[in-house]
Chain A
Amino acid sequence: MVRIYEDLRAVQRRLGVVQAVVALAVAALVVYFWHLQVIRGKSLLEQAENNRTRTLPIPAPRGPLFDRKGRILAENRSSFNVVVTTERKDELAGALERLSKLVSFDPGEVREHLNTQGPRFRSVVVKADASEEDVAAVEARRLEEPEASVDVVPLRSYPLGVGLAHSLGYVGEISDRQLESGAFEGFEPGNIVGQAGVELEYNRRLMGKDGLRRLEVNSRGVEVRETTRVPPVDGPRADLTIDLDLQKAVVDAMAGQSGSVVAMDPSNGEVLAYLSTPAFDPNSFSLGIKSGEWNGLLKDEEKPLLNRPIQGGYAPGSTFKILNALAALQERVITPQTKFHCPGYLSVYNTIFRCHKEGGHGTVDMTQAIALSCNVYFYNVGIRLEIERLSRYAHMLGLAQPTGIDLPHEIPGLFQDPEWKMRTQKARWFPAETVSVAIGQAMNVTPVQLLRVAAAVANGGKLVTPHLMKAIGGKPFEYPPPKDLGFRPEVVAAVRDAMIAVVNGGTGARARLDGIQVAGKTGSAQVVTHARLETNKHAREYQPHAWFVCFAPAENPKLAMVVMVEHGTAGGTSAAPVAGQILSRYFGVKAIGPGMAPPPDNPPVEPSPAPLRVQTALPSPAVAQSQGPQ
């Protein structure tokens, strides 16, 4: 093979030109670096030493929160922080030591905070929300103690404190874990962000835009001058759906008890009151919570950090009979007139299922069965409906899925059905299990999920999305419209009438109001087995949880509410009175249920448990609606 070499001489000549250009450019760079580093080196070194700039953020106040009538729920007040700033961490101990003679603070706590701060050390707050004396002491010694300075920061404050802790949430310094997560992209260490509730859910929109100050400081860290100041932009105001009056009534009614109360407008899902108790004081987080206080909250057996209305999963107990009845009526398994006999138990599938009333309720129809909360009646209904249809209606009414409320970390709850059992336990469903499901066992629901079911009865069969935010910056929020579930009007009316009967002579009599018709349903959820309860009948932690769901006025509901009292024993005796007290304050009428405290200027109402009105002729849906309260 003949090798043919191309004639590359022209190319090589031109390559020489390119090489020369490159060599010249690099040589020019070397000369320029000589100029910069050797000739101007001294003066630039001085600039590096003396001309150190420091950028400090000016925190923007978060948007204030208002209730639905424009009353303040969360605001910002100016507070003073004493801050120590040093260039080097090893100088810090001395600075803290000297400062401790001027201002009283806990050096141990500061050190603890420093250890969690990571390597990017800049400044540390030694005293948050300092007094005027402290501020004066530090400012007067600016020259001797250049490391110490005073920052003015907006401090979040919540006038109602504990009462709105779980709905509004709280704010605090961003954690390292949050900094690394995608949700907080673009945030800086030291930023104050929402840590729970509405503050977290709407964090970005509530935050303003921090301003900044760029300072020139000398090598000791003393500020020489401010070179730039970009003022912060305040966060926009936010209007919530909360009604402060109602919220206060709820707080008062639940005083001393553990549990949840959530009230909402059943027509659109606007949450009017939201309480989880016991709670914490969100104001103590604004200052940076002390570790002792935090650990106390974590270890408290009453779980004050648990947001019960959306994170507490409980068996709905008898309140589930509402759902059972809706399904059975819609599927034409029963009519309101269908009767079953209750001898106090039902023997089926080789098991004896008991009613809560030992001697039985006798022969009852659906309205009576709901009013008296007869288990045997609904065992029978459930067996005829079968688990598939029960499960379908439960899911349709929003169980076993988040409600979509605008609060973080909602749990979905749980509904046991054959599909669930096969998936989680790889086992077949037994028909006997359907019997438990029929009276609200074998499932976990949150109070807000149950509230949605009650609201669906109140609004004629529509599922609403509960929410707390009305508008941010004056711009109203849009929510999906209530979803019509397709119930026939007479189905919803029959269940509503039965719920009216619950309050008028049934198990929920203590929620009765003077002049306003209330519809409700009681329930209790066992927390331990029957045998265990027998071992210590009066131990508080063995008592069942008490439920009461309701809406009023029954003919034209303005308010739907769920009350859950943990270990309240029975819905009728502990949850219904709470509801009665709240409703009476909200509507401004007297609570006239048996045993309810009468207004001081009136003679006590006779505590007569009034014979069951519905025992006689069954009120047809239309008639029941027109009947006023007794």
Chain B
Amino acid sequence: MPIDRRLLFNIDWGFLAAALILLGIGVATILSATFAGRNTGLEIKQLYAIGLGLVLMVIAISLDYRRLVDRAPLLYLAAVGVLVYVLFFGPKIANTRRWFMGPGGFQIQPSEFAKLVAALLVAKLFAEAKKDALGLFDVIVPGAAVGLMAALIAAEPDLGTAITLVPLFLCVAFLAGLRARAILGLFLMMIVLGGLGWMFVLKDYQKSRIYTFLDPNRDPQGAGYQKKQSEIAVGSGGVVGKGYKKGTQSQLGYLPARHTDFIFSVLAEEEGFVGVVAVLGLYMFVLWRAFETAQMARDRVGAFLAAGIAGILSFQVIYNVAMVAGLVPVKGLPLPLMSYGGSSVLSSLVAVGLILNVRMRRFVN
């Protein structure tokens, strides 16, 4: 479908530029984190992923978001199918089944895309419930749909991605008018489910991470080591940082997962508080424009879609940065746009595309 040229005038160029700058900072930080290690050349792979991601972004822009939302149930069924397939037939890597093998050894993590499908579906379901105030019974269907997806992802196990579906659901449900009492009820339910999950579902390594978070000295070699080293890395960066490629914590290899989930601690160590404020400022700008898009949307579907995606991104940014600072338990949750990883980059760029999509169609019927 050729794109209406008038729509191009309404593209939010500032938002797009900020996202691209964050991607660029991510590539530079990945290079710094890995150039001295065994596994080099990752920044090149990241650039390829960004290139492919931009193509997907353009596709995500050019399809009218209302048509996309209309097809959400189909996309949802497909996503659930792939998640089930991965769970049973996906390759086992580091004791998890998160990956989908494409042709030619190309691997993607379907859960990264499933969360966007969930955003489409939630937008559709809540937009159709045209009431001003929703009770608990009104959210059973969307809740069950998102819950099933979260359970499949949690079973991989990939608890970090599974949990991002919670803020998505709560955010959109709240916007759609879920009563405060119902929100309280949902929280209670989650606590009960969480307790059951602790007893029957959580793997030992996940429990140990939570224990370790509560008492870092419990296991200074394992998960606590990671938290402590990250804290030292961030703190030792000081006001202006140790300089690009000069962070001792990162360069000497004390930081695990430094090019993926802990990329922000490399940035904090090498660029200091100044760099942290600058990058968090960029993220704040991106998130703000995303929420603004929801404010401007011409219909409930657009508002819910933009807000849902903004909710996912906000949660990931806030959780990841808090984790790097040692404020919350370590979870495998990448920092959108900056962390190394093809699936994360692709899904982040599709998310950017969907936000742009809603914003530029705010005037047109």
| A and B assemble together | yes
Residues of chain A whose beta carbon lies under 8 Å from any beta carbon of chain B = 1, 3, 5-6, 8, 10-12, 14-15, 17-19, 22-23, 25-26, 29-30, 32-34, 36-38, 40-45, 47-49, 51-53, 87, 118-120, 189, 214, 227-228
- Give A19 to B231 CA distance when docked, in angstroms: 28
Given contacts A15-B295, A87-B252, are A33 and B311 in contact (CB under 8 A)?
Answer: no
List A contacts of B15 (CB < 8 A).
Answer: none
- Give A118 to B40 CA distance when docked, in angstroms: 12
- Give A22 to B321 CA distance when docked, in angstroms: 13
List B contacts of A47 (CB < 8 A).
Answer: 232, 235-236
B276 touches A33 (CB 8 A): yes
B38 touches A44 (CB 8 A): no
B248 touches A49 (CB 8 A): yes
Shortest beta-carbon distance from A384 to chain B in Å? 54
B37 touches A119 (CB 8 A): yes
Check B331 for interface membership: any CB of A closer than 8 A. Answer: no
A38 touches B238 (CB 8 A): yes
- Give A118 to B36 CA distance when docked, in angstroms: 10
Nearest chain B residue, comparing its CB with the CB of A122 = B253
- Give A245 to B248 CA distance when docked, in angstroms: 59
List A contacts of B163 (CB < 8 A).
Answer: none
Task: For the complex, count residues of B whose C-beta is within 8 A of A.
Answer: 55
Main secondary structure of the interface of A (DSSP, over half): helix
- Give A33 to B234 CA distance when docked, in angstroms: 8
Check B325 for interface membership: any CB of A closer than 8 A. Answer: yes
Shortest beta-carbon distance from A215 to chain B in Å? 12
A10 touches B238 (CB 8 A): no
Given contacts A44-B231, A48-B249, are A5 and B298 in contact (CB under 8 A)?
Answer: yes
A45 touches B221 (CB 8 A): no
Check B194 for interface membership: any CB of A closer than 8 A. Answer: no
Given contacts A11-B303, A26-B284, A214-B221, are A41 and B237 in contact (CB under 8 A)?
Answer: yes
B325 touches A120 (CB 8 A): no
A19 touches B249 (CB 8 A): no
A36 touches B303 (CB 8 A): no
B272 touches A48 (CB 8 A): no
List A contacts of B273 (CB < 8 A).
Answer: 33-34, 37-38, 41
List B contacts of A119 (CB < 8 A).
Answer: 36-38, 40
Shortest beta-carbon distance from B120 to chain A in Å? 17
Given contacts A11-B303, A15-B303, A18-B291, are A41 and B276 in contact (CB under 8 A)?
Answer: no
A228 touches B238 (CB 8 A): no
B254 touches A52 (CB 8 A): yes
Check B99 for interface membership: any CB of A closer than 8 A. Answer: no
11 CB contacts below 8 A, A to B, read A18-B174, A26-B283, A29-B322, A36-B231, A36-B325, A38-B238, A38-B273, A41-B236, A48-B232, A53-B254, A118-B38
B175 touches A15 (CB 8 A): yes
B327 touches A30 (CB 8 A): no
Nearest chain B residue, comparing its CB with the CB of A19 = B291
List B contacts of A1 (CB < 8 A).
Answer: 365
A18 touches B276 (CB 8 A): no
Check B314 for interface membership: any CB of A closer than 8 A. Answer: yes
- Give A87 to B254 CA distance when docked, in angstroms: 13
- Give A30 to B275 CA distance when docked, in angstroms: 11
Nearest chain B residue, comparing its CB with the CB of A23 = B284
- Give A30 to B40 CA distance when docked, in angstroms: 32
Partner of B277, one of A10, A18, A30, A43: A30
A-contact bits for B217-233, CB 8 A (1 contact / 0 none): 00011000000000111
- Known: A11-B304, A26-B284, A41-B239; 6 extra A-B contacts, CB below 8 A, are A6-B298, A25-B314, A33-B277, A36-B235, A38-B239, A53-B254
List A contacts of B135 (CB < 8 A).
Answer: none
A228 touches B221 (CB 8 A): yes
Given contacts A33-B325, A36-B325, are A8 and B297 in contact (CB under 8 A)?
Answer: yes
Shortest beta-carbon distance from A449 to chain B in Å? 36
List A contacts of B284 (CB < 8 A).
Answer: 23, 26
A37 touches B234 (CB 8 A): yes
List A contacts of B294 (CB < 8 A).
Answer: 15
List A contacts of B236 (CB < 8 A).
Answer: 41, 44-45, 47-49
Check B66 for interface membership: any CB of A closer than 8 A. Answer: no
B135-156 interface with A by 8 A CB criterion: none
A-contact bits for B271-301, CB 8 A (1 contact / 0 none): 0110011001001100110010011011110
- Give A255 to B20 CA distance when docked, in angstroms: 73
Check B110 for interface membership: any CB of A closer than 8 A. Answer: no
- Nearest first, the 5 A-B pairs at minimum CB distance are A44-B235, A48-B236, A41-B238, A45-B236, A37-B273
B235 touches A18 (CB 8 A): no
B300 touches A22 (CB 8 A): no
Check B318 for interface membership: any CB of A closer than 8 A. Answer: yes
- Give A118 to B277 CA distance when docked, in angstroms: 37
Check B307 for interface membership: any CB of A closer than 8 A. Answer: yes
B291 touches A6 (CB 8 A): no
List B contacts of A43 (CB < 8 A).
Answer: 235
List B contacts of A41 (CB < 8 A).
Answer: 235-239, 273
B239 touches A14 (CB 8 A): no
Check B24 for interface membership: any CB of A closer than 8 A. Answer: no
List B contacts of A25 (CB < 8 A).
Answer: 314, 318
- Give A40 to B232 CA distance when docked, in angstroms: 10
Check B69 for interface membership: any CB of A closer than 8 A. Answer: no
B106-121 interface with A by 8 A CB criterion: none
- Give A5 to B296 CA distance when docked, in angstroms: 12
B305-341 interface with A by 8 A CB criterion: 307, 311, 314, 317-318, 321-322, 325, 327
B220 touches A227 (CB 8 A): yes
Given contacts A32-B325, A36-B234, A37-B273, are A8 and B268 in contact (CB under 8 A)?
Answer: no
List B contacts of A228 (CB < 8 A).
Answer: 220-221
- Give A556 to B322 CA distance when docked, in angstroms: 78
A-contact bits for B161-194, CB 8 A (1 contact / 0 none): 0000000000100111100000000000000000
A14 touches B318 (CB 8 A): no
List A contacts of B365 (CB < 8 A).
Answer: 1, 3
B295 touches A26 (CB 8 A): no
Shortest beta-carbon distance from B139 to chain A in Å? 15
- Give A89 to B304 CA distance when docked, in angstroms: 56
B280 touches A22 (CB 8 A): no
- Give A51 to B284 CA distance when docked, in angstroms: 35
Shortest beta-carbon distance from A569 to chain B in Å? 54
Check B132 for interface membership: any CB of A closer than 8 A. Answer: yes
B298 touches A30 (CB 8 A): no
Shortest beta-carbon distance from A174 to chain B in Å? 13
A29 touches B235 (CB 8 A): no
- Give A1 to B365 CA distance when docked, in angstroms: 10
List B contacts of A11 (CB < 8 A).
Answer: 175-176, 300, 303-304
List A contacts of B254 (CB < 8 A).
Answer: 52-53
Shortest beta-carbon distance from B281 to chain A in Å? 9
B232 touches A30 (CB 8 A): no
- Give A22 to B303 CA distance when docked, in angstroms: 17
Most A-side CB within 10 Å, residue of B171, B235, B311: B235
List A contacts of B317 (CB < 8 A).
Answer: 26
- Give A45 to B273 CA distance when docked, in angstroms: 13
- Give A43 to B232 CA distance when docked, in angstroms: 9
B37 touches A120 (CB 8 A): yes
Nearest chain B residue, comparing its CB with the CB of A17 = B174
Nearest chain A residue, comparing its CB with the CB of B319 = A25
Shortest beta-carbon distance from B287 to chain A in Å? 6
List A contacts of B233 (CB < 8 A).
Answer: 48
List A contacts of B248 (CB < 8 A).
Answer: 48-49, 52
B311 touches A40 (CB 8 A): no
